[in-house]
Chains A and B, each alone.
Chain A
């Protein structure tokens, strides 16, 4: 049975390979960074299993690993490795191979799609082929392996060249790859420390009572602001709902819960488009596309985000109290 854990082991192997290649090139900080991260990925299942059994030492070591990564990150210069082939060689190859180049690239979304749609029904000898949790992501991991095979056939290039190219791209992305995981961890620490409840307490204390519009604006803009800080609308939603949405808008002013919930969440999504804290949507793509500014994607999104936000608030005002 294919489980998402296999994908994590594959990632761990790739990270450690990247570390060892950097070690061979005498880039010691890079080497240490990727090896520590690879160890966290390889040991992740053990950490989770042990802490479920009540042993906290592996999780504590994991925490130390995270701190080591944070100390190493500022030492990683974002340097692009030179491309292994000249633009002329790539153009020649593009002309020779033509549309067949699209086949492996499209296999990544296609295989993912097929696993997402039909993976639940596939079984070999009565055993399900794909484990139910995270099936789409398991499918994505499988799709990447299939695409690497196909790419190696199409380009008539050995697969280890692909892994070496992947390492080059990973080094170009650098520490930005790590941010989404760290921000998820930060969200959990914030929740455990009571940051959300403290913000909600401040917001309700400042809010003028009585005006439905003021409460609605505070709720919508609070969703945006809190999402900008936390990087995630899902973290903002329960806080703003418990602080303003439920007691003031629904109980006091009779707002429609379905509309308030749905559109309130969408206000948060507008915040996601604006914040570097949503690293996986904003900073990682900027690094992946080799933009010179890490905030380039956010800059391209500001106009749309504000216009969508304004529209959503107006729609909410029109519908939510009827």
Chain B
């Protein structure tokens, strides 16, 4: 067994800890791991080039930028915020939990590309979450806004991840089924997918509770502010 290629993993860990540019770290790790495994330089270059262009679909989100940019120039985020501020009864927690549910259900149907950080979070969910939080605590600072946007992105990720595993015709379930089939165990996709449901429900409950706790922290800060204003 050749253990030397593991140094590539060490390059990643050390590079990220020392905060070198991640792009440089990743390419250095790939080169060192490949060379230590005994790949020739031309073969390694070809492998790198071919695998890079084979995953071009990962950059498709940049195509949303012109439309989103144009709409933001025309005031999309400002409008989402003003609209959110007018909606009575739609609290921060209800907005985020509702989005979480929708995202999870869509992912369970295999529709993961419909929403996402570029498609829905930046133009819609994040500004609406900020406006909903401003209804609770008007004095949000920059750190609060960063945290709110991060929570919106986290809600999007969690909804997607713990929904897509329940969908039978895509990705994870088929990978599991294919692995077992290679090793002589025949399973139907449904038998695998059904066991993703308990965790899907737990993930929904956990993220909802955390969003609600965050909202309560904001409410307490707002109450403290009001008390100070009275004193």
Contact = CB atoms under 8 A, between A and B. Distances in A.
Contact of B44 (A99, A136, A150, A189): A189
B88 interface: no
A246 B146 CA distance: 43
Nearest to A160: B66
Interface residues of A, number: 150
B124 to A, nearest CB: 6
A67 B46 contact: no
A140 interface: yes
Of listed A15, A167, A181, residue having the most chain B CB within 10 A? A181
Given A94-B75, A304-B206, A284 B61 contact: yes
Contacts of B79: 94-95, 97-99, 101-102
Interface in A42-83: 43-44, 47-48, 51, 56, 58-67, 69-71, 73-74
Interface residues of B, number: 120
B23 A175 contact: yes
B114 A116 contact: yes
Given A116-B114, A155-B71, A69 B23 contact: yes
A279 interface: yes
A40 interface: yes
A293 B43 CA distance: 37
A119 to B, nearest CB: 12
Nearest to B176: A261
A162 B69 contact: yes
A292 B36 CA distance: 37
B65 interface: yes
Of listed B6, B12, B199, residue having the most chain A CB within 10 A? B199
Interface in B110-128: 110-115, 117-124, 126
Given A108-B119, A284-B61, A94 B70 contact: no
A173 B225 CA distance: 36
Interface string A163-202: 1111111100001111111111111111011110111011
A315 B199 contact: yes
Contact of A285 (B3, B8, B53, B153): B153
A291 B42 CA distance: 40
Given A137-B57, A261-B179, A66 B27 contact: yes
Interface in B22-44: 22-24, 26-31, 33-34, 36-37, 39, 42-44
Contacts, number: 438
A41 B36 contact: no
Contact of A108 (B64, B185, B191): B64
A102 B77 CA distance: 10
Contact of B62 (A40, A164, A170, A197): A170
Contacts of A198: 1-3, 5-6
Interface of B: 1-3, 5-6, 8-9, 12-13, 16, 20-24, 26-31, 33-34, 36-37, 39, 42-80, 82-83, 110-115, 117-124, 126, 142, 146-147, 149-154, 156-158, 161-162, 165, 171-173, 175-176, 179-180, 183, 185, 187, 191-196, 198-199, 202-203, 206-207, 210
